[in-house]
Amino acid sequence: MGSGTKIGRVRGLGSARQGGKHWISGMESSVASLLLSVWLVVSLLLLPNFDQATLAQWLGQTSVAVPMILTIGVFFWHTQIGLTVLIEDYVHDEGLKLGTLMLLKLYALAGTVFGVFAVAKIVFAGAGA
Contact residues for other proteins (CB under 8 A)? Answer: 6, 27, 30-31, 34, 37, 50, 52-53, 55-56, 59, 68, 72, 75-76, 79, 82-83, 86, 92, 111, 114-115, 118-119, 121-122, 127-129
Q: Which is nearer to other proteins, 56 or 70 (CB)?
A: 56
Q: How far apart are CA 2 and CA 46, in angstroms?
A: 64
Q: Which is nearer to other proteins, 9 or 99 (CB)?
A: 9
Smallest distance from the beta carbon of 25 to other proteins, in angstroms? 13
Q: What's the min distance (Å) between Cβ of 53 and other proteins?
A: 7
Which residues, including other chains, have CB under 8 Å from residue 58's CB and lie 6 or more apart? 43, 47, 64
Question: DSSP code of 4?
Answer: S
User: What single-letter amino acid sits at 64?
Assistant: V
Nearer to other proteins, 27 or 99 (CB): 27
- Among 99, 111, 104, 64, which Cα is nearest to 83's? 104
